[in-house]
Amino acid sequence: PGHRVVVALEPRSNTMKLGVHNESLANSLKDADLIWMYRPGDMGDNFDASLEALSGKLSMHKDYDQLVSDMSRKVLSGDQVIFMSNGGFGSARQTLTALLQKTRGP
C-alpha cells in the first residue's frame, strides 16, 4: 500500500512471440500502475491490439535505451519496479539502477 507497482516487460519467449498469451497478457498486467514494454519487431499481428485495455499506463518501446530513459524520468522513489523477461532485457535493469543511483543517490 502506498507504493506504485511499475512493470517492465520484454516479451521474449516463443510463446509470447507466437501470441499464445495475447488474450491473458493485458489482464495479468491490469493492476500495475505503469507498464513499460520492449516491443521486438517479430511479435505476432494481434499483439498491439491485445494490449489496448492498458492504454494510458502502457509505454511501448522498440529501443532499450529509450525505454530506460523514459522510465528514469517517471519512476519515483518508493516505486516497486518489476522487470520480467526470459533473457537479459538489454541490461535495462542494470542501466536503470545505475542511472537512478547517479541522478538520485543510492
Please state which of the ranges 11-20, 28-37, 46-55, 69-78 shows the lowest mean pLDDT: 11-20
Confidence band, pLDDT 50/70/90 cuts, at residue 8: very high
**Confidence band of 1 (pLDDT split at 50, 70, 90):** low
Say if CB 5 and CB 31 are below 8 A apart.
Answer: yes
Model confidence over 45-88: pLDDT tens digits?
788 888 999 989 999 999 999 999 999 999 998 999 999 998 89
How far apart CA 42 and CA 85 sit, in angstroms, is 16
**CATH fold of 5-104, please?**
Protein-Tyrosine Phosphatase; Chain A (3.90.190)
Q: Tell me, yes or no, if the pTM score tops 0.75.
A: yes
What are the sequence ranges of the domains in the chain? 5-104
